[in-house]
Amino acid sequence: MYSREVKERIEKINDTFRVLVVTGPRQVGKTTLLESLMPANMTKVTLDDETLRKEAQENPKIFLDSYPTPLFIDEVQYAPQLFPYIKMKVDKDKTRGQYWLSGSQLFDLMKNVTESLAGRAGIVKMNSFTYGEIVENDKKELFDPENLKQKEYIDVNETFERIFNGGMPELYDIENMDRNDFYYSYINTYVEKDIKKIKNIGNVESFKKFMRDVAIRTGTTLNYSDIANDVGVAVNTIKEWISILVSTGIIYLLEPYSSSKLKRLTHMPKIVFMDMGLACYLANWESAKALQLSEMSGRFFESYVVSELIKSYDNKGIRLEISHFRNKETEEIDLIIFKNNTLYPLEIKKTANPKKEMMKNFKYLEKAEMKVGTGGIICLYDKLMKLDENNYIIPISSVING
């Protein structure tokens, strides 16, 4: 079993809160990790079991009375009726780590946690493997633009193999697991078990076509109308479906930078797939090399870097303040990290030959009247080095293998 970066945070939450809530997309290893950490006296029930689910929905008080604490309830989002009764239980007993709750429908689960368990529950967000977890780097540090470090070189071929294969744990835990079989099953299970429980989407094939269309657009600005035209459904339907992909952790929307001091900025986010292997499968790439040599390779590289950053920070429970910059003239900055009241601009380029002109749009941030810190170009160069007084060439290894 691969070591998970989020383990330390789970243990800390369990020691300090009465309820531990673990959320994240389907099959990213939530149940496996929690089972490995369960105390010997903890009972586990899963609401994937139809009989247990019905009991929890119809008789939530009796259900909870039937199981002593500590209790682990898997797929708890299927029985929101339990949350008020869990609140009453933990209000009477202040013992830490009484309930472990996990689920894959982030929006519904978080809504119930916020309404019923505020102040009582500690929340952990899980994602698929990071690069550091796959290569078993147990000394990985978070990427910090204020403290850049040289790390072992990762070449373009390995980078695109990681992008192509993604980070779903079963692909690494199960010997000879076929990538195509896994993702085919994943998509069908996701649609049948998650999507249909959230919303009656009607035409399942249209939703799958929509997922493929969004995958092809990873790394681009979200345009509802263009997707609606491609899929053949209404714009409002696409907006609903995008919100489903976000709430189930399939995609992340990288919001645009905004400032009252800057005019003519775009208001649309960028699409970022949280597991690039899933994006590659949906976009019908048959090999890492084919993707690497394609016109889309730069966008997939960019999305991979952003998703790795988000996952790494999620594992530590730290909110990562990031955005992208784009104005009406389509002048862009791929990524801006906001930290300590300072903006850190970054370009993300699939190149081993970065040039200063790639950072020409950093100048627009000077008009925002905020401090602009260390910037640079995240790329495939092999060494961390200064490009000018304030900016660096940043190898991808310094970002994903900190």
The helix (run of H) or strand (run of E) holding residue 334 is strand 332-339
Give per-residue pLDDT as tens, 49-65.
Answer: 999 999 999 999 999 99
Strand partners, 118: none
Range 255-280 average pLDDT: 88
- For residue 25, the tally of other CB atoms under 10 A from its CB is 25
- For residue 321, the tally of other CB atoms under 10 A from its CB is 12
Burial of 30 (0-12, 13-18, 19+ CB in 10 A): buried
Q: What pLDDT was estimated at residue 260? A: 67
Using alpha carbons only, give the angle 254, 293, 353 rounded to the nearest 5 degrees. Answer: 75
Determine the Cα–Cα distance for residues 396 and 61; give it in Å rounded to an integer: 51
Give per-residue pLDDT as tens, 269-294.
Answer: 999 999 999 999 999 999 999 999 99
Range 133-140 average pLDDT: 88
Q: What are phi and psi of 332, to 5 degrees?
A: -130, 155
> Which pTM does this prediction carry?
0.94
Q: What pLDDT was estimated at residue 196? A: 74
Determine the Cα–Cα distance for residues 290 and 377; give it in Å rounded to an integer: 24
Is residue 345 over pLDDT 90? yes
Domain with CATH 3.40.50.300 in the chain: 7-125
Strand partners, 327: 265
Determine the Cα–Cα distance for residues 369 and 260; give it in Å rounded to an integer: 10
DSSP state letter for 384 = -
Q: What are phi and psi of 233, to 5 degrees?
A: -130, 175
Rounded to a whole number of angstroms, the CA Rg of the chain reads 22
| Among 264, 260, 262, residue whose Cα is nearest residue 367 | 262
Indicate the CATH number of 7-125 among 3.30.365.10, 3.30.300.30, 3.40.50.300, 3.40.50.720: 3.40.50.300
Lowest mean pLDDT among 154-158, 201-205, 332-336: 201-205
